[in-house]
Chain A
Amino acid sequence: MEGLTLSEAEQRYYCDLFSYCDTESTKKVASNGRVLELFRAAQLPADVVMQIMELCGATRLGYFGRSQFYIALKLVAVAQSGLPLRVESLNTVKDLPLPRFVVSKNEQESRHTASYASDADNPASYSGVIPPPPGRVQAKKGSVSHDAVQQRTSTDQESTSPVVSPQQSPPTSPHTWRKHNRHPSGGNNERPLAGPGPFWAPFSEAQPGSSAAGDPIWSGHSPPPHQENWVSFADTPPTSTLLAMHPASVQDQTTVRTVASATTANEIRRQSSSYDDPWKITDEQRQYYVNQFKTIQPDLNGFIPGSAAKEFFTKSKLPILELSHIWELSDFDKDGALTLDEFCAAFHLVVARKNGYDLPEKLPESLMPKLIDLEDSAEVGDQAGEVGYSSSPAEAPPSKSPSMPSLNQTWPELNQSSEQWETFSERSSSSQTLTQFDSNIAPADPDTAIVHPVPIRMTPSKIHMQEMELKRTGSDHTNPTSPLLVKPADLSEENKISSSVKFVPGNTVADGYSSSDSYTSDPEQIGSTVTRQRSHSGTSPDNTAPPPPPPRPHPSHSRSSSLDMNRSFTVTPGQQQAGVVAYPPAVPPRPQPSQGTGPHVHRPVDAEGLIAHTSTSPQQIPEQPNFADFSQFEAFAASGVNEEEEDEIETHPDVLQAEKPSDSASSLRAAKTEGRVEDKAATSVPNNTGKGTTPLAPPPKPIRRRLKSEDELRPEVEEHTQKTGVIAAVLASQPSIPRSVGKDKKAIQASIRRNKETNTVLARLNSELQQQLKDVLEERISLEVQLEQLRPFSHL
């Protein structure tokens, strides 16, 4: 058999018929029963039917395959048109009207059921069901056909089958809709309603053809065929008359079709997939919608505000409830305004509703706003697309693309949107990774800083000193410290003068302060001090103790001395003690912070420092590291600290002044023994006990007192000025430090490293000093024993 070329309309029509006959949904074979019925409906003589069947090869095959079916249909059309049945005539006959199938009411009904009844196969229950669509279809066909009989039948059909009022509605709809109410339009409206039947195809095709004539027809209105409820279609006579146009229109359409074949390209595409998606918007429809949109909003990329849309759609005379639901469906991004796509979707839904279709629960895919329309403005498309995509990723499965209707652009858009969606997620994840990155980086520094077990205290002192020196050269804040440092140095020197012992303890105390934290010989405490100092150092711009430790009053110059000390410290750990000695440039009168700032300031510095002044340190250590260090250092240097003493105690400047060197020493020892920087009480107690070294004894007490507010007050009185000066310096420096910190992280890190180094050095020093302390204690004990031994003799 020669190949069969079908026009688009024919193709659609035949496809619909085949679907109708394909009761078993095999998509390949038309059930013989149905086919026979169809042929019967063709009102052809039986012999003609037999001939047709023979010609198409069905008799040979025994079944009606799709091709056979199509051939048969074509032959039916040929026969109906009165042409002889010839195989050759299949392709030669041009402008062959579509085969008409007129069936009795029952048959129609059955056909309705068969083809439309919810796509459910009820081959048997033909009569029971009155499927509106088929009825409608029939009605359409009947109405359209000039055949009066058909009309009547169709009318009957219409009367029996629920008819769609929508067909009327267009005419009665707002004026804007009227222009679409052409007959063909009406018919088309009905046709869509008819459902995805074969009949629909020709209608819709006819419409395009007619529309090609220039009328914006919204006939292309694809019906929502597969609706559960084939809403009753009020097929009124007028509509039937419209439908009556069908046959003629079909013929006309065919001619027009050929002429307008070019224009129907879209429709072919649409129609071919029309079965699958009744909610598609045809091009004509879309064009109409767009025009309507323009009347409200000239800018196609703009929005229609809710109020305007409300007015517009209220004209459709749909109940508010339904309009509200339509709005809910179509306003995709829930912004109270309609974009072009949203508007088209809403309009389409209104049309469908007016034609009797039920509103879907969810927005059909074909009506979803274009996800990302390359053609449309990015804003609209993106918004809708993204929203749409995100909201219904499942609903826009790429798999549906083939069936996507006129909005075939949504398809690639979906893909694009999916890509975008993915990219979004990727972006988000990447941003997260970025943030994670940053967060990872951040702790790195402190971690590295924390790694060292060495009490930061110690380090900071050195660092402070270094910083001080560095800063002295340049920064202002260091300057004040330097003089302050100098002052403490002076004080320490004074202390020295007062009593070497005193001084020493003072220094030690001072050192103790700085190193008290570290000193407490508790690695943990040291660590705490370290942390504390780290924090301090962190604040300092250089990341090392902000103000370089007050120049250990090496009488000559604190700076140099401190520098040397630092260097010595870092270079020769073994020489720590020596360095210590060198540097504790008499912890200058630690600006005895009146209990509060000063001591605290210095304390931490002291902590950094070499000596752990346990008693005093606790209080003093806290806040400001650098200064404490400085003062301690200075005191150290000035006092020419004993190694022991230095090691032992970091005394406040107060301590120094109060000739607490001994105290400080004792307290330091106490601190050492107890290993508690912050244990003031402990320090105090040991201080008391540690009287073996008389010079040290006093210091502890004073230190203790210092711990107490009173004591501090005392020193404050003395060194108040100094303290204030130092404190001021410290405070001044500190504020500046943070600033610089923020600016120079690298410097901070560098200073941290330096601090760590100094920490290690100081730790070593600390250990050595502790060892010395132990030795000294042993000596003391031995001495005491001897003393006791001697005494009895004396008594005796």
Chain B
Amino acid sequence: MERIALLSPVCSPRLQNYPLYIRSVPTENELKFHYTVHTSLDVVDEKISAMGKALVDQRELYLGLLYPTEDYKVYGYVTNSKVKFVMVVDSSNTALRDNEIRSMFRKLHNSYTDIMCNPFYNPGDCIHSRAFDNMVTSMMMQYVK
């Protein structure tokens, strides 16, 4: 089971993380994943603040395993614009290695930048891009067999 959630950056006025995009495969227990993603935000914020003003590069974008729970693992990734990606992976899926997670995040990031290039997309809107959906679906299907 896998779930991908995109969270908005901590928008200055709102100071609120709301999901721009949430997707999970399979689709049951969605609510549980929602909860997990939300709770992991704290960890993400913690890691971001820990990094301080350090230059953000690819390595630092990837936050790694945020915390493992009994059932699943949560991975985090933050972009330069503080858009957070959170991925929840089932713990039983041990085939997923760190570098695979990284590549998945990289693909997500690339797709996200493609979306941002679209002038019709206003940052902060929920993401409805079909291309993005397709990419996410293919990625999840690929890794979650």
| Interface of A toward B, CB cutoff 8 Å | 306-307, 309-310, 320-321, 323-325, 327-328, 331, 334-336, 361
**Contact (Cβ within 8 A) A323 B114:** no
**Contact (Cβ within 8 A) A325 B129:** yes
Q: How far is the CA of A239 from the CA of B120 in the complex (A)?
A: 31
- Which 3 pairs show the lowest CB-CB distances between chains A and B? A306-B119, A324-B120, A310-B119
Question: Chain B interface residue count: which class?
Answer: 10 to 19
A327 contacts across to B, CB distance below 8 A: 118-120
**Contact (Cβ within 8 A) A325 B117:** no
Q: How far is the CA of A335 from the CA of B114 in the complex (A)?
A: 8
Does B97 touch A at the CB level, under 8 Å? Answer: no
**Contact (Cβ within 8 A) B119 A307:** yes
Which residues of B, 24-58, contact A by the 8 Å Cβ criterion? none
**Contact (Cβ within 8 A) A309 B119:** yes
Within 8 Å by CB of A336, from B117, B129, B131, lies B117
Name 14 A/B residue pairs within 8 A (Cβ), A-sorted. Answer: A310-B119, A310-B120, A321-B128, A323-B120, A324-B120, A325-B129, A325-B130, A327-B120, A328-B115, A328-B130, A328-B131, A334-B114, A336-B118, A361-B130
Which among A309, A324, A336 has the highest number of chain B CB atoms within 10 Å? A324
B119 contacts across to A, CB distance below 8 A: 306-307, 309-310, 327, 336
Q: How far is the CA of A306 from the CA of B115 in the complex (A)?
A: 12
Distance (Å) between the CB of B77 and the closest chain A CB?
Answer: 20
Q: How far is the CA of A321 from the CA of B125 in the complex (A)?
A: 11
Does B121 touch A at the CB level, under 8 Å? Answer: yes
Q: How far is the CA of A309 from the CA of B120 in the complex (A)?
A: 9
Distance (Å) between the CB of B91 and the closest chain A CB?
Answer: 34
B134 contacts across to A, CB distance below 8 A: 361
**Contact (Cβ within 8 A) A335 B117:** yes
Q: How far is the CA of A321 from the CA of B129 in the complex (A)?
A: 8
**Contact (Cβ within 8 A) A324 B118:** yes
**Contact (Cβ within 8 A) B118 A328:** yes
**Contact (Cβ within 8 A) B129 A324:** yes
Q: How far is the CA of A321 from the CA of B115 in the complex (A)?
A: 12
| Interface of B toward A, CB cutoff 8 Å | 113-115, 117-121, 128-131, 134
A325 contacts across to B, CB distance below 8 A: 129-130
Which among B114, B118, B129, B134 has the highest number of chain A CB atoms within 10 Å? B118
Q: Which residue of A lies closest to B132 (CB)?
A: A328
A310 contacts across to B, CB distance below 8 A: 119-120
Which among B115, B117, B129, B131 has the highest number of chain A CB atoms within 10 Å? B117
B115 contacts across to A, CB distance below 8 A: 328
For chains A and B in complex, what number of residue pairs have CB atoms within 8 angstroms?
37
Q: How far is the CA of A320 from the CA of B114 in the complex (A)?
A: 17
**Contact (Cβ within 8 A) A324 B117:** no
Distance (Å) between the CB of B21 and the closest chain A CB?
Answer: 14
B117 contacts across to A, CB distance below 8 A: 306, 331, 334-336
Distance (Å) between the CB of A417 and the closest chain B CB?
Answer: 21
Q: Which residue of A lies closest to B114 (CB)?
A: A334
Q: How far is the CA of A307 from the CA of B119 in the complex (A)?
A: 6
Q: Which residue of A lies closest to B110 (CB)?
A: A334
**Contact (Cβ within 8 A) A324 B128:** yes
Q: Which residue of A lies closest to B134 (CB)?
A: A361
B120 contacts across to A, CB distance below 8 A: 310, 320, 323-324, 327
**Contact (Cβ within 8 A) B114 A324:** no
Q: Which residue of A lies closest to B116 (CB)?
A: A336
Which among B115, B118, B120 has the highest number of chain A CB atoms within 10 Å? B120
Q: How far is the CA of A305 from the CA of B70 in the complex (A)?
A: 49
Q: How far is the CA of A542 from the CA of B113 in the complex (A)?
A: 54
Q: How far is the CA of A320 from the CA of B122 in the complex (A)?
A: 10
B131 contacts across to A, CB distance below 8 A: 328
Q: How far is the CA of A334 from the CA of B112 in the complex (A)?
A: 11
Q: How far is the CA of A320 from the CA of B117 in the complex (A)?
A: 15
**Contact (Cβ within 8 A) A306 B128:** no
Q: Which residue of B lies closest to A324 (CB)?
A: B120
B128 contacts across to A, CB distance below 8 A: 321, 324
A336 contacts across to B, CB distance below 8 A: 117-119
Which among B114, B115, B121 has the highest number of chain A CB atoms within 10 Å? B121
Q: Which residue of B lies closest to A311 (CB)?
A: B119
Q: How far is the CA of A445 from the CA of B3 in the complex (A)?
A: 55
Distance (Å) between the CB of B110 and the closest chain A CB?
Answer: 9
Q: Which residue of A lies closest to B121 (CB)?
A: A324
Q: Which residue of B lies closest to A328 (CB)?
A: B131
Q: Which residue of A lies closest to B113 (CB)?
A: A334
Q: Which residue of A lies closest to B118 (CB)?
A: A327
Distance (Å) between the CB of B125 and the closest chain A CB?
Answer: 9
B129 contacts across to A, CB distance below 8 A: 324-325, 328
Distance (Å) between the CB of B127 and the closest chain A CB?
Answer: 10
Q: How far is the CA of A625 from the CA of B128 in the complex (A)?
A: 69
Q: How far is the CA of A183 from the CA of B141 in the complex (A)?
A: 50
Distance (Å) between the CB of B51 and the closest chain A CB?
Answer: 29
Q: How far is the CA of A725 from the CA of B134 in the complex (A)?
A: 73
**Contact (Cβ within 8 A) B118 A331:** yes
Distance (Å) between the CB of A384 and the closest chain B CB?
Answer: 15
Q: How far is the CA of A334 from the CA of B110 in the complex (A)?
A: 10
Q: How far is the CA of A361 from the CA of B129 in the complex (A)?
A: 11
Q: How far is the CA of A461 from the CA of B115 in the complex (A)?
A: 67
A324 contacts across to B, CB distance below 8 A: 118, 120-121, 128-129
A306 contacts across to B, CB distance below 8 A: 117-119
Q: How far is the CA of A442 from the CA of B118 in the complex (A)?
A: 48
Distance (Å) between the CB of A144 and the closest chain B CB?
Answer: 37
Q: How far is the CA of A324 from the CA of B125 in the complex (A)?
A: 12
Distance (Å) between the CB of B138 and the closest chain A CB?
Answer: 13
A335 contacts across to B, CB distance below 8 A: 117
Q: How far is the CA of A309 from the CA of B119 in the complex (A)?
A: 8
Q: How far is the CA of A103 from the CA of B117 in the complex (A)?
A: 51
A323 contacts across to B, CB distance below 8 A: 120
Q: How far is the CA of A327 from the CA of B130 in the complex (A)?
A: 11
Distance (Å) between the CB of A296 and the closest chain B CB?
Answer: 13
Distance (Å) between the CB of A532 and the closest chain B CB?
Answer: 37
Q: How far is the CA of A331 from the CA of B115 in the complex (A)?
A: 11
Distance (Å) between the CB of B16 and the closest chain A CB?
Answer: 23
B114 contacts across to A, CB distance below 8 A: 328, 334
Q: Which residue of B lies closest to A305 (CB)?
A: B119
Q: How far is the CA of A328 from the CA of B113 in the complex (A)?
A: 12
B118 contacts across to A, CB distance below 8 A: 306, 324, 327-328, 331, 336
Distance (Å) between the CB of B80 and the closest chain A CB?
Answer: 17
Q: How far is the CA of A334 from the CA of B121 in the complex (A)?
A: 13
A320 contacts across to B, CB distance below 8 A: 120
Q: Which residue of A lies closest to B131 (CB)?
A: A328
Distance (Å) between the CB of B70 and the closest chain A CB?
Answer: 40
Distance (Å) between the CB of B5 and the closest chain A CB?
Answer: 21
Q: Which residue of B lies closest to A307 (CB)?
A: B119
Q: How far is the CA of A550 from the CA of B86 in the complex (A)?
A: 68
Q: How far is the CA of A324 from the CA of B118 in the complex (A)?
A: 7
B121 contacts across to A, CB distance below 8 A: 324
Q: How far is the CA of A200 from the CA of B115 in the complex (A)?
A: 37
Q: How far is the CA of A192 from the CA of B24 in the complex (A)?
A: 40
Distance (Å) between the CB of B57 and the closest chain A CB?
Answer: 22
Distance (Å) between the CB of A329 and the closest chain B CB?
Answer: 8
Known pairs A310-B119, A310-B120, A327-B119; list 18 more (Cβ under 8 Å).
A306-B117, A306-B118, A306-B119, A309-B119, A320-B120, A321-B128, A323-B120, A324-B129, A327-B118, A327-B120, A328-B118, A328-B129, A328-B131, A334-B113, A334-B117, A335-B117, A336-B117, A336-B118
Q: How far is the CA of A325 from the CA of B128 in the complex (A)?
A: 9
Q: Which residue of B lies closest to A310 (CB)?
A: B119
